[in-house]
Amino acid sequence: MSFSDYSTALVTGASTGMGAAIAERLAKRGLTVHALARNEDRLKELADKTGAVPHVVDLTDTAALTAAVGNLQVDVLVNCAGVSRPGNILDSSESDIDELVDVNLRGLLQLTRLVLPGMVERDLGHVINVSSIAGTYNFYGHTVYHATKAAVHQVSRQLRNDTVGKRIRVTEICPGRVETEIFGRNMGGTPEAMEEAWKTYYEGYESLTTDDIVNAMDYAIETPRHVNVGMLELMPTFQVPGGLTFDRR
């Protein structure tokens, strides 16, 4: 299969970062792109730039999600929406845990539940889930974020079983550090926080860019129809996922 096999895409988290870049590439490839996010102003900018169809929806509101996209015929589903929080389970709040689980996992599952049956009926489709190396490696970070991304990793594998015998492809894109707004939002989301996050996490580093993620997606879709690219792990050359810490008392 290639882009010529598909006509319609649905991208979550499409108002910024990887989601916006993915939506733009899919539109350039000739697909009708339905862009889903909570930020109305940014979705409008994306729609004006790319011709994407904006859907201002909270991914955690299943009723609103169903009303917005439940009847769409989708050939390419890109589950890109995600949130993070600083810290770990020792200092997580109730709302931290609920939001990460609801956005990163529950929303993904509900949307996939709505879209996948149509792909199976048409015997055609591609699901692309954006996870994280936090789901496959252990390192210091938010425990709940790691848990939700590990679940996305497993869901991506399981969907291949759920659709066996159908021409449905499932790809997990598993990136390391990408230059997006995520750290700035974790630090408060103000212009000052964004600047501080850039200096702390990106300045002087050779991080991945959103183009790197988009090119990975492009490759997975463009492979021949008998090839399923199951997982693409993308890491900056100077970033390693492992490391052993031995705390001496």
- Alpha helices, DSSP H only, in the chain? 17-28, 40-50, 62-69, 94-101, 107-122, 143-162, 182-186, 191-197, 210-222
Spans in the chain with pLDDT lower than 50: none
Find the catalytic residue in 137, 145, 202, 205: 145
The answer to whether the CB of 212 falls within 8 A of the CB of 244 is no
Question: Are 164 and 120 a contacting pair, CB within 8 Å?
Answer: no
Rounded CA separation 176/239 (Å): 8
pLDDT of residue 1: 57
Q: For residue 32, what pLDDT is reported?
A: 97
Domains (range + CATH), the chain:
3-234 (3.40.50.720)
Q: What is the pLDDT of residue 247?
A: 79
145 has catalytic annotation: yes
